[in-house]
Amino acid sequence: MGTRKLYMDSIDSCYQKEFDAKVVSVSENSIVLDQTLFYPLGGGQNWDTGKITWDGGQVSVTEVRGRSDIQHFVGEDHGLEIGDSIKGEIDWDRRHAHMRMHTAQHLVSGLVYEMYDGARTVGNQIHADRSRIDFNPVKFDEEMIEELFSKANEIVESNLEVTDCIMTRDEINGIMPSERTNMDLLPISVKQLRIIKIGDNVDLCPCAGTHVRALGEIGEMKFLGKKNKGKGTTRVSYTLEGCES
């Protein structure tokens, strides 16, 4: 069955900061829980950090990885055993920054596709202080960048709702072109997909990341720089008001 990912239950669940769980597996420097709010590295988004407490003590969660069984790295000699009941608490500032950054990435990716001849998002990295998106095929000049971020911030100010739901591939493809949603990058075996939607399909994309409830929570998007990555790919970096390092 693997670890139940509590942050996947709904957009609202992304805002939960604490949870209870049981230890189901231990190693020298990590543990696996039956359920967790800690987001593992994946989908371009960095992991959550935080702490785990129990009757016998407390440890810091410094890294989280895995797809099915989620490994919480807590250091050597942690003292936890299978069957222990724990309380987990995520670092909210880090989580909320990731939520804002990831939702901003969806918005910008959707805008680039619409504004610049179907340029696709071919990679992204979401961090707490700055993030980046790789687009192909497109070569941005200063005017295009200014137009893109001006439009993005205009839509952010409209405070559109961000929602999630479960859809089939056919349902998604009936709304958005498959190249816009990067459907070809998902395993064909996956039939039911968690979808993140901005407003009335301003963007609609399969995603297992964490997101905010409404665009206004993102704050002002700020362009940091662009870099040519070759073969028609351009990397655009950005930060958000209040997220600068």
Residue type, 102: H
Query: What are the tens digits of pLDDT across the range 187-234?
Result: 788 888 999 999 998 899 999 999 999 999 999 999 999 999 999 999
pLDDT > 90: percent of the chain:
87
Round to whole Å and give the CA distance between 96 and 48. Answer: 10
State phi, psi for 211 to the nearest 5 degrees: -145, 160
Please state, rounded to an integer, the average pLDDT across all residues of the chain: 95
Round to whole Å and give the CA distance between 24 and 173. Answer: 39
Query: What are the tens digits of pLDDT across the range 77-108?
Result: 899 999 999 999 999 999 999 999 999 999 99
According to CATH, where is 3.30.980.10 located in the chain? 95-240
- Position 245 confidence tier, pLDDT thresholds 50, 70, 90: low
Q: Specify the residue for token string 């990435």.
A: 105
Query: What are the tens digits of pLDDT across the range 95-144?
Result: 999 999 999 999 999 999 999 999 999 999 999 999 999 999 999 999 99
**CATH topology for the 4-90 domain:** Elongation Factor Tu (Ef-tu); domain 3 (2.40.30)
- Closest to 202 in 3D by CA, of 113, 96, 98: 113
According to CATH, where is 2.40.30.130 located in the chain? 4-90
95-240: CATH superfamily: Threonyl-trna Synthetase; Chain A, domain 2 (3.30.980.10)
